[in-house]
Amino acid sequence: MKHYLGLFLIALLINITGCKKGIPINADKEETEDMSVDASSVPLGLPRHVGFGTEGDISHSANYINETEYQYQYLAGDIFSNGWQTWNSPNGDFARRFLEQIGSSGRIPVFTYYNIVPAKKRNQDPAFTNLADAEVMNKYFEDWKRLLQICHNYGKKVIIHVEPDLLGYMQMFKNDPTKATIKVSESNFGDVKAFSNDAKGFSQAIVSMRNTYAPNVLLGWHASQWATGYDVIKGKHNPEQAAIETAAYYKSLNARFDLIFSEFSDRDAGYDEIVNKKLNTTWSTEGNTSNGNLSDYERFRRFLKKLNRLTDQKIILWQIPIGNTLSATCNNSAGHYKDNKAEYFLQPVAERSNVDRIKQYGEAGVIAFLFGRGAHDCTSFMDTKGDGTTGLNETADDDGGYLRKYIGTYYKQGAVVLP
């Protein structure tokens, strides 16, 4: 997903016009870290330790990382032409096969359900046109019902991550009535006629249909770190304040999801630097005067921790970039871009059997780290390029085998038990 596209200009416009009230960017002294204990419960059926997972459909199952416990798959496309229901025959068989094979491997299946933006091939993000199109929303709720029925027939636990960033945009524009219309009851779909035509009604409809058709499904809402109009990381915004505003917006929807999904970034840092021409894409690992004495990882951890404390919900971190700076294979060519997310958590495990960073995130409410590409040419944990780019003593995997090797090391040493 390209949720940062145009986001800086949106946030700038919000601040200039005064449509969005906020606090100063470097306001970390106004809110100190929440020192309370995580009182949330791990949903039934999920591991009671910090787990790891990856992306990848079942055609790549031979290349999955053996130790992983979660496997996620996008369900996306134009629901009027090439949506997920058409990917296998008969319709919907793609999802059925995924559930059966992932379940038989002992993993927990995770779907990222992302179908509003691509509907009618508009690919408008945020998808205000599609949200206000009754025909789109009628088809959408029909599609959602079909997925829930398939999950119900599967019978075991399924996680569905609902529309990444959608609620982030709704939160950002909550005071703008021109951005608030969502054709929920006006879609004339039978199951949702009782719900209001806004983000609240949409969220309640999604949860209500899950309750009716697939109670075995755990629903995840997406907490976007920029939803307040101030980016927690890029703007060095106060993490606790951002979490307070985001949790308050979620609670205002009065729709009880089961989990929070969030993400570090949606591209390898090297990809963003070279392909997207962005600056300062690598997350800082140490606090200093330029970042308000909070590293990006610590700032994000505090954002997640406050969200967890305010919502009593566990967190799954999703679509984590796979590149690293330590493998020679990661040379910032296509498919082999650098990043430091994987190594931030796994290198201490590899060097010193030290799981402190993973434990700190676990104490902030995180139960799983899911690694995956946010764009086709981002780094994979498999040999998707097949281009022979492999460093000395490294595997053919596009990251040089780093993720595969050290996730294995983490589990061999013993996974971090959740509080």
pLDDT in tens, 117-141: 999 999 999 999 999 999 999 999 9
178 versus 92: the higher-pLDDT residue is 92
Model pTM score = 0.93
Average pLDDT over residues 77-94: 96
Q: Give pLDDT, residue 118.
A: 98
Mean pLDDT of 240-264: 97
pLDDT at 6 over 60: no
d(CA 68, CA 66): 6
- According to CATH, the topology of domain 7-413 is TIM Barrel (3.20.20)
How confident is the model at residue 24, as a pLDDT? 39
pLDDT band for position 2 (50/70/90)? very low
More confident residue, 233 or 27: 233
pLDDT over 50 at 45, yes or no: yes
Greatest CA separation found in the chain? 62
The two tokens of residue 376 are 């086709």
What DSSP designation does 107 have? P
Is the distance from CB of 121 to CB of 180 less than 8 angstroms? no
Residue 61 has pLDDT above 70, yes or no: yes
Please, is 10 exposed, middle or buried when counting C-beta atoms within 10 Å of its C-beta (0-12, 13-18, 19+)? middle
Please calculate the CA angle 314-240-231 and round it to the nearest 5 degrees.
Answer: 95
Question: Residue 10 has what pLDDT?
Answer: 36
pLDDT over 60 at 29, yes or no: no
Measured distance CA(262)–CA(367) in Å, rounded: 12
pLDDT at 33 > cutoff 50: yes
Average pLDDT over residues 322-341: 98
**What is each CA distance from 45 to 11, 95, 114, 303, 366, in whole angstroms?**
39, 20, 24, 26, 16
Query: Are residues 25 and 290 in contact, defined by beta-carbon separation less than 8 angstroms?
Result: no
As a whole number, the mean pLDDT across the chain is: 92
The ranges assigned to domains in the chain are 7-413
pLDDT reported for residue 34: 87
Residues in the chain: 419
Q: CA 410 to CA 51: how far, in whole Å? A: 10
Confidence (pLDDT) at 181: 85
Helices (H), 116-262: 128-131, 134-154, 166-172, 199-213, 239-252
Query: pLDDT band at 397, cuts 50/70/90?
Result: very high
* pLDDT for the residue 31: 67
Residue 154: name the closest of 78, 219, 96 by CA: 96
- 20 pLDDT exceeds 80? no
% of residues, the chain, pLDDT over 90: 88
pLDDT at residue 176 in the model: 77
CA distance 402 to 394: 8
